[in-house]
């Protein structure tokens, strides 16, 4: 076989092999596939006797086609066999579906390369193939197996992407289910949560997020698999298990610089929609200036405001009825007497305490209190009436803060 020689000028090792070599090595492949499969089964536990007939068949076909393709490429370097490449992508895809890493499959490729090269080296010596050709053949085996391993990596990555996409779709469906009205059954939540790989918590909290003011999407750091996220809707939001709330709030405070968020109240899972409603209400009040400026606000810190302004038209009607005696005064007088009445109701003190709060003279307060006594009479001494008056005055103050024009 001394007439065989390496062809110069090829970047791929099998491109330097003489085409006649293909016919010399093909007879070795008759039993080589079985030898490789058996070596894999014996040496790699993941591909042992228990791997199943279907998966063993796929591996066997992959080995047989790899050997055939290798011989064909030696004979014709321009050969295209994309359909055979799909077999090795499928092997990588299958490894992910089996819940394994690529370590075992990569080890199988390396083992297959060693078994194949040992057989081809023996054949080369037996057939008196020149050493340069034999060395190039060994290099070609290694390069070819590297290509097959890379195809399996592609298949594995494709399976990961498909699984991630399917899981994200299920998580979005789960979020929609949890926020539906009426709420879903516990069994329905449990089934969808299992397919979405989400552990159903005892309690959770909704977080309302302010959309970005520009055309770019709102982005957040990875909050972990326990947090359900919807950033694609017109009103982005999160559903956060109570155990993850502190960490999530900290992450939001770190990244929210040009937008804001409101954290609802912890509720049982069937009440998730209610928590989100409160959070969105708080976010609306924050944007309108009714709550102290902050990038992240908590409903728990503003319960009185949320309660007082839960229904603004109703609050206006309530305030109008309760504070009706003030309507006969000028706007300036209404403001002064309202401030004095609220300070008196809040302090439950005399003229000096009210004067100190309002930073006016005590005599001025006494004069105003006499006016209020004349306007409201016995209402100032009735506990229920005093509570309603204080509630009305507080609500009016907050309505004025958010720009609602309310006159008493």
Q: Which residues are registered as beta bridge partners of 297?
A: 262
Identify any residues that bridge with 241 across adjacent strands, giving them in sequence order.
204
**What is the per-residue pLDDT for 406?**
37
Task: Write out the two tokens for 35.
Answer: 């030898």
pLDDT the model gives residue 83: 59
Residue 404: the pLDDT is 44
According to the model, what pLDDT value does residue 395 have?
84
The CATH code belonging to domain 203-308 is 3.30.70
- Cα(261)–Cα(248) distance, rounded to whole angstroms? 11
Per-residue pLDDT, 116:
92
Residues 6+ apart with CB under 8 A from 23: 75
Of 109, 287, 103, give the one whose Cα is nearest residue 208. Answer: 287
Contact 300, 265 (CB under 8 A): yes
State both tokens at 379. 């209402």
**How is domain 312-401 classified at the CATH fold level?**
Arc Repressor Mutant, subunit A (1.10.10)
pLDDT tens digit at each of 408 positions of the chain: 556 666 555 556 666 788 888 888 888 888 898 899 889 888 988 887 666 677 778 788 888 888 888 888 776 656 555 556 788 888 888 888 888 888 988 999 999 999 999 998 998 888 888 888 888 888 888 888 998 899 899 998 888 888 777 888 889 999 999 999 888 889 999 999 998 889 999 999 999 999 866 555 677 888 999 999 998 878 899 999 999 999 999 999 888 877 899 999 999 999 999 999 999 999 999 998 888 889 999 999 999 889 888 888 888 888 888 899 998 899 899 989 999 999 999 888 788 888 888 999 999 989 999 999 999 999 998 999 999 999 899 888 877 766 543 333
Backbone angles phi, psi at 202, to 5 degrees: -70, -40
**0.85 exceeded by the pTM?**
no
Domain boundaries, the chain: 13-162, 203-308, 312-401
Alpha-carbon span 188 to 336, nearest angstrom: 58
Per-residue model confidence (pLDDT) at position 80: 59
State how far the alpha carbon of 345 is from the alpha carbons of 198, 217, 317, 338, 371, in Å.
Answer: 50, 48, 21, 11, 15
pLDDT at 408: 37
Which residue is associated with the tokens 């390069």? 143
């Amino acid at each position: 076989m001394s007439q065989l020689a390496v062809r110069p000028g090829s970047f791929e090792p099998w491109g330097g092999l003489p085409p006649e070599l293909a016919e010399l090595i093909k007879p070795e492949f008759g039993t080589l596939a079985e030898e490789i499969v058996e070596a894999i089964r014996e040496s790699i536990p993941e591909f042992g006797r228990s791997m199943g007939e279907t998966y063993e068949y796929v591996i066997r076909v992959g080995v047989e086609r790899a050997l055939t393709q290798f011989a064909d490429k030696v004979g014709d370097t321009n050969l295209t066999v994309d359909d055979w490449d799909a077999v090795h992508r499928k092997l990588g895809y299958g490894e992910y579906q089996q819940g394994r890493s690529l370590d075992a499959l990569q080890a199988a490729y390396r083992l297959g390369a060693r078994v194949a090269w040992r057989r081809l080296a023996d054949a080369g010596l037996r057939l008196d193939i020149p050493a340069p050709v034999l060395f190039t053949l060994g290099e070609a085996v290694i390069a070819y197996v590297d290509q097959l391993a890379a195809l399996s990596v592609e298949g594995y990555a494709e399976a990961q992407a498909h699984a991630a996409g399917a899981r994200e779709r299920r998580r979005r469906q789960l979020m929609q289910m949890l926020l539906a009205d009426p709420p879903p059954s516990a069994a329905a939540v449990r089934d969808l949560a299992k397919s979405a790989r989400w552990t159903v918590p005892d309690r959770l909290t909704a977080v309302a997020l302010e959309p970005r003011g520009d055309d770019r999407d709102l982005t957040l750091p990875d909050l972990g698999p326990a947090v359900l996220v919807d950033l694609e809707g017109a009103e982005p939001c999160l559903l956060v298990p109570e155990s993850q709330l502190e960490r999530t709030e900290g992450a939001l405070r770190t990244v929210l610089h040009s937008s804001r968020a409101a954290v609802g109240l912890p509720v049982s899972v069937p009440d998730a929609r209610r928590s989100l409603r409160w959070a969105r209400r708080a976010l609306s009040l924050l944007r309108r200036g009714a709550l102290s400026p902050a990038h992240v606000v908590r409903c728990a810190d503003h319960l009185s405001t949320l309660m007082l302004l839960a229904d603004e038209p109703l609050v206006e009607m309530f305030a109008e009825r309760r504070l009706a005696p003030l309507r006969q005064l000028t706007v300036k007088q209404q403001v002064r007497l309202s401030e004095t009445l609220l300070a008196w109701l809040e302090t439950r003190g005399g003229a000096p305490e009210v004067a100190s709060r309002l930073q006016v003279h005590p005599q001025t307060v006494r004069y105003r209190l006499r006016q209020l006594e004349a306007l409201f009479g016995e209402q100032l001494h009735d506990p229920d009436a005093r509570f309603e008056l204080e509630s009305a005055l507080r609500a009016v103050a907050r309505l004025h803060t958010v720009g609602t024009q309310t006159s008493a």
